[in-house]
Every structure is written in structure tokens, then in C-alpha cells.
């Protein structure tokens, strides 16, 4: 199973545009050493013009890059933040979520774990579904299938999570149509 889904970045930008119609610049935090970052950025760049949004990529190689990244985002100024998956972001959820709130920057993340820990929005693969599907692969292998003969599969189910506490904290109202599409709303 693969969770590399660069095409989801377009949906993330679309969601940000829905909650912030006047958005014009989005800071994207990620690491160029992480697989998929380059392709995700290409996807974002190709779709950002359609939304009238400029992308500002900010590299995070080590945890000490996080504070300066938010300073750079505010200086630009960015209207929102997209956080990509990487070793630095995965291991520093709390400071990233706190800095987004402190800087009053709406942020969208790639898994619901972020919104469960205080982040505003997440949109990405449904990991429960991926784990269930991975179990079918284990079953096939235990029954004699060769792993090399099994195809790599992408996520089929995606989930949108909205944290209304986080929205209130930064003074943001989430449109009803976004809340209606959310798989989960944290109140």
C-alpha cells in the first residue's frame, strides 16, 4: 500500500480556498529529501494558478527550521499553511500545530492525527482502510503469493477532519458546506 498521493495537494488547496475565499499565498512546509515532496510541489504549482494562489515552499530539514519557517510564512505574508509529510513534520506535530495557532495561520495537514492534536484541517488517506487492505495482502502472502507479484496500491478512501476548537482559537469560521463533507468534526 502506498500513501504517496501528490494529487491530494490540489484538494487541500481547494479546501483552504473554500474556508478562506480571499487567500492569495500559501506557505508549504516540507522536506525535499522526503519521497513525494517534489511531485507534490509540482502538483500544487500546476493547480495553484487556477485558485489564484501563490505557493511559497519552505524547507524543513531539522527541527530548528520550524520557528524560522513560520517567521518566513508570516513575513511573506502567507494566508495559510500546508504541511507535507516528512521526518521533521511527523516528529514535531505539537510545535507545528502550536506555531500555526500562535501565528493565526490556518493550516491543513495530511492525516487526522494532526487535527486530533489541535490542528485545524486534515485531508488525506484513510489509514484504517489502508491497514484493512494491507491485511488482505498478508493473507495472500501467507497463502503462497509472492510479494513481488502483488501490485502496489494507492489509497481509495480519503478523509476530511475539521477541528472547530482550532478554528475558534484563530477566529475562523468554517463554512457549513465544508463541515457537511467532513468525515469527522472535532468540537
pLDDT in tens, 36-80: 899 999 999 999 999 999 999 999 999 999 999 999 999 999 999
The C-alpha atoms of residue 75 and residue 90 are separated, in whole angstroms, by 25
Domain count, the chain: 1
Decide if 61 is inside a domain.
yes
- pLDDT at site 130: 86
**Neighbouring residues of 90: CB distance < 8 A, sequence distance ≥ 6:** none
Q: Which of 9, 7, 157, 168 is nearest to 185 (CA)?
A: 168
Decide if 132 is inside a domain.
no
Dihedral sign for Cα atoms in the order 168, 170, 173, 179: negative
For residue 112, give the CATH number of its domain: 3.40.50.2300
Decide if 131 is inside a domain.
no
Decide if 41 is inside a domain.
yes
Decide if 135 is inside a domain.
no
Range of the domain at 166: 8-125+159-186
Decide if 146 is inside a domain.
no
Decide if 71 is inside a domain.
yes
pLDDT in tens, 101-148: 999 999 999 999 999 999 999 999 998 888 898 999 999 999 999 999
Amino acid at each position: 500500500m502506498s500513501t504517496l498521493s501528490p494529487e491530494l495537494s490540489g484538494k487541500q488547496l481547494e479546501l483552504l480556498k473554500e474556508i478562506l475565499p480571499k487567500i492569495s499565498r500559501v506557505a508549504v512546509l516540507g522536506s525535499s529529501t522526503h519521497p513525494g515532496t517534489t511531485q507534490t510541489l509540482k502538483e500544487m504549482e500546476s493547480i495553484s494558478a487556477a485558485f489564484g494562489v501563490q505557493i511559497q515552499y519552505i524547507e524543513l530539514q531539522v527541527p530548528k527550521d520550524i520557528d524560522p519557517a513560520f517567521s518566513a510564512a508570516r513575513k511573506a505574508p502567507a494566508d495559510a499553511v500546508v504541511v507535507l509529510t516528512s521526518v521533521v513534520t511527523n516528529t514535531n506535530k505539537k510545535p507545528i500545530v502550536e506555531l500555526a495557532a500562535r501565528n493565526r495561520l490556518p493550516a491543513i495537514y495530511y492525516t487526522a492525527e494532526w487535527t486530533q492534536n489541535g490542528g485545524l484541517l486534515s485531508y488525506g488517506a484513510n489509514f484504517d482502510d489502508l491497514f484493512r487492505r494491507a491485511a488482505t495482502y498478508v493473507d495472500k502472502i501467507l497463502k503462497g503469493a509472492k510479494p513481488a507479484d502483488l501490485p502496489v496500491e494507492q489509497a481509495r478512501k480519503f478523509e476530511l477532519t475539521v477541528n472547530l476548537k482550532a478554528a475558534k482559537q484563530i477566529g475562523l469560521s468554517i463554512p457549513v458546506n465544508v463541515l457537511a463533507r467532513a468525515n469527522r468534526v472535532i468540537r
